[in-house]
Amino acid sequence: MSPLLPDPSRISITRSRNLPTADQLRRLQHILVLMPESPGEELWHQIPHGDVLSALSWRRPAEAKTPLRTHLPAPGRATATVGFLTNTETPFAIQTSVRKVAGTALEDEPETLGLIVIGWDEQTTRLIQASAISAVLLGAFRMPAEKTKPAPAARLRRVRVFSPAPGLNTKRLLAEAEGNNLARWLTALPPNRLDAAGYRDLATRLSRREGWKMRFLDEKALSRKGAGAFLAVSQGNAARDAGIVRIRYRPAKVSGRRPLSLVGKGICFDTGGNNLKPFKSMLNMHEDMEGSAVALGALLALTRLGYRHPVDCWLAVTENRIGASAYKSRDVVRAANGVTIEIIHTDAEGRMVLADTLALASSEAPKMILDYATLTGTCVYALASRYSGVFSNRTDLYPALVTAGRESGERVWGFPMDEDFEEPIESKVADIAQCAVNSEGDHIMAARFLQRFVGEDIPWVHVDLAAGNHKGGLGLVPTAVTGFGVRLTLALLLDHDLPAAAEGEAAA
């Protein structure tokens, strides 16, 4: 397997109908208990060694937010971590608390971990169990590192859920975690490892492994298609290895359905181009390919779940560099759908590569297009890095988008898409300007710009990944790189059937 791909997860999830017996407890290295704040004696009595844990919990200072951690006085001396959840009002609040407790439980790297959630109604219990399993799967994952003395391999092999709530879907949790872990892994890879050539190689190997059909449209192929917007960005690269990856997922025994398209921005390193970024703004620009990693992670999760619809995945892979051949302000280029673009600012390269990628995806008349991109600084100014922005040419979909965001814990907010937002990007010399000279509302202008490259009859959702990096982690995710969007996508497709919702609107 490619050194650029993470080792496949070897963690399995098993279930026990009841709370653990003494014998089951002996075979676990760690037990993770989640309870409400100030649990009554009857709750403590239901869990093994509850009397010991209860006595210890009384000794915690009242204001202590840290979970209780101790060895159990039992053969095997399993370690126990007990977390007390104060806020269970939203999935995000649950995820945030549970992620921190799971982090404590994983500190000594157990091979086997038992999970007890006790003291809530069925629905809340299911939510907490699902969050705890996900947090453990994400927390146990090793991010890329090339140390001469490598960290020992992750040890966790088995998670055992005691008294699982009805409807707990562990297969879905494993798939989501695998998709998110892949997205975070790719985003964190050094830019000299995941350069355009490395990305192409990785996509080829991953496609072979997963049974996907892959095609790489290199610069020559893109030139034949007239993809002048993408090529304007890639022409500044030192090597001629940039291109658009197209991957096809086709489930068995499904025919006659139009595919759904997932499109991602894959800028492997963004210097800003001739309008160069200052040092601190450029430092983490290897993460500017996170949108493509999220598209790929979502496709992997859907594949694991045997999603019953065909999916195409389009990744726009290039760097954005400076140099004699790099594009510049006031250049005019023509995109694959014929629209001409006046370049204003070379750091607005994401919308350039997406323009052609969306045009190519649109030319195959998909049922719906979802795109993901770390696109604008103004989206971060608007939402901080806790939410991501969503935009659509079907604004009636916004309630479903916001709901799926709330349910998945990957929260999103819809922005306006009124036509007059295009006034600042009118051009005297081309059909449209790439961006305005001033950045005010740039996330909205960028979305209006992108819409020019999407077929009008195709429902389209654009996710501006303001929450792609959040210091200290976000929701379930323990790392600054969040891989935001994989869980959201699964909620949109599997729980809300967004393509069908969009079709309903078109028919109405």
Q: Which residues bind Zn ion (CB under 5 A)?
A: 270, 347, 349
Task: Using DSSP, state whether 115 is helix, strand or coil.
Answer: strand
Nearer to Zn ion, 175 or 446 (CB): 446
Catalytic-labelled residue, pool 184, 200, 265, 351? 351
> In 10 A of CB 52, how many CB atoms?
16
- Those residues whose C-beta lies under 8 Å from the C-beta of residue 252, and which sit 6 or more positions away, are none
In sign, the C-alpha dihedral spanning 499, 502, 503, 504 is: positive
Nearer to Zn ion, 246 or 448 (CB): 448
In the complex, minimum distance from the CB of residue 45 to Zn ion, in angstroms, rounded to a whole number: 59
CB 416 within 8 A of CB 318: no
Nearest to 361 by CA among 465, 268, 227, 266: 227
Query: Would you call 220 a catalytic residue per the annotation?
Result: no
In the complex, minimum distance from the CB of residue 195 to Zn ion, in angstroms, rounded to a whole number: 17
Nearer to Zn ion, 221 or 276 (CB): 276
Nearest to 54 by CA among 109, 119, 135, 103: 119
Nearer to Zn ion, 270 or 312 (CB): 270
Nearer to Zn ion, 270 or 410 (CB): 270
Task: Using DSSP, state whether 499 is helix, strand or coil.
Answer: helix
For 232, left (φ over 0), alpha (ψ -120 to 50), or beta?
alpha
Q: Which two tokens stand for residue 215?
A: 């095609």
Q: CA-to-CA distance for 306 and 286, rounded, in angstroms? A: 32
Q: Which residue is nearest to Zn ion (CB)?
A: 347
Task: Using DSSP, state whether 454 is helix, strand or coil.
Answer: coil
- Those residues whose C-beta lies under 8 Å from the C-beta of residue 170, and which sit 6 or more positions away, are 13, 15, 133, 161, 164
Q: CA-to-CA distance for 184 and 186, rounded, in angstroms? A: 6
In the complex, minimum distance from the CB of residue 316 to Zn ion, in angstroms, rounded to a whole number: 13
CB 80 within 8 A of CB 115: no
For the chain, the C-alpha Rg in angstroms (whole number) is: 24
Please give the order of strands across the beta sheet that includes 340-342: 332-334, 340-342, 432-433
In the complex, minimum distance from the CB of residue 440 to Zn ion, in angstroms, rounded to a whole number: 17
Q: Indicate the angle between helix axes 196-210 and 290-304, nearest 10 degrees.
A: 10
CB 115 within 8 A of CB 159: yes
> In 10 A of CB 223, how many CB atoms?
13
Nearer to Zn ion, 349 or 464 (CB): 349
In the complex, minimum distance from the CB of residue 446 to Zn ion, in angstroms, rounded to a whole number: 11
Catalytic-labelled residue, pool 60, 277, 386, 406? 277
Q: Which two tokens stand for residue 193?
A: 């490892």
Where would I find the beta strands (DSSP E) of 118-228? Answer: 158-162, 213-218
In the complex, minimum distance from the CB of residue 347 to Zn ion, in angstroms, rounded to a whole number: 4
Nearer to Zn ion, 219 or 349 (CB): 349
Cβ-in-10-Å burial (0-12, 13-18, 19+) of 443 comes to: buried
In the complex, minimum distance from the CB of residue 479 to Zn ion, in angstroms, rounded to a whole number: 23
In the complex, minimum distance from the CB of residue 275 to Zn ion, in angstroms, rounded to a whole number: 9
Query: Would you call 351 a catalytic residue per the annotation?
Result: yes
Nearer to Zn ion, 178 or 270 (CB): 270
Task: Using DSSP, state whether 498 is helix, strand or coil.
Answer: helix
Residues labelled catalytic: 277, 351
